[in-house]
Amino acid sequence: MRAAFPTAVTVEIAASDRKPAVTKSAARKTTLATVDLPLLFIEIHDSEIPWLKIFVRRSVREFSECTAVEKTAIWDALDVIEREMLDYYRPEKINIASFGNMLPQVHWHIMARFKEDSYFPEPMWGPRQREGVLALPPMEPFLENLRRKLLPES
């Protein structure tokens, strides 16, 4: 259901008047910014599955080099995103990862996985298992819920 993950349309749901860091990079497969937080920004990873990436704004290589406040912000974001993914998409499992071998800037992947996706039960970086066939609901209501949870002041 690639239609659920538009590759050329900016979904602007940041509540603040700061501009989110929109980075369209083929190498990073990142198409648009989704949620703009004080210490973090969250982007959609272009994929057949619901897949978000949480970036720390400050230049920092390893997770343990983050400040306590940054760490808490990351865990809170992962927790909220996971709950919203489980509630909205009803996936088989949530996957979380932070590598940064190619891009040594702290960022976390969070993915909703389905038995019918192209890689399950392998990680999304593993060997392809099949031609994934997913019928997912549109992403916009999920993103709206996410914004409400992550930006409670809005």
Q: Does 38 contact a second copy by CB under 8 A?
A: no
| Contact mark string toward a second copy, 98..117, x via CB under 8 A | xxxxx-x--------x----
88 contacts a second copy (rule: CB under 8 A) = no
Q: Does 67 bind a second copy (CB under 8 A)?
A: no
Taking CB under 8 A as the binding criterion, the range among 11-19, 41-49, 70-78, 134-142 that sits at the site for a second copy is 70-78
User: Looking at 94, 118, 149, 151, which residue binds a second copy (CB under 8 A)?
Assistant: 94
75 sits near a second copy (criterion: CB under 8 A): yes
Q: What is the CA radius of gyration of the chain?
A: 15
Alpha carbon 102 to its chain's center: 18
- How far is it, in rounded angstroms, from Cα 109 to Cα 81? 11
Question: Taking the complex as a whole, how short is the minimal distance between the CB of residue 120 and a second copy, in angstroms?
Answer: 6
Query: Shortest gap between Cβ of 35 and a second copy (angstroms)?
Result: 18
Residues that contact a second copy, how many (by CB under 8 A): 30
DSSP states of 37-57 as a string? -SSEEEEEE-SSS-EEEEEES
Please name the helix (run of DSSP H) or strand (run of DSSP E) that holds residue 36, with its range, or none.
Answer: strand 30-36
How crowded is residue 153: how many other Cβ atoms within 10 Å of its Cβ?
5
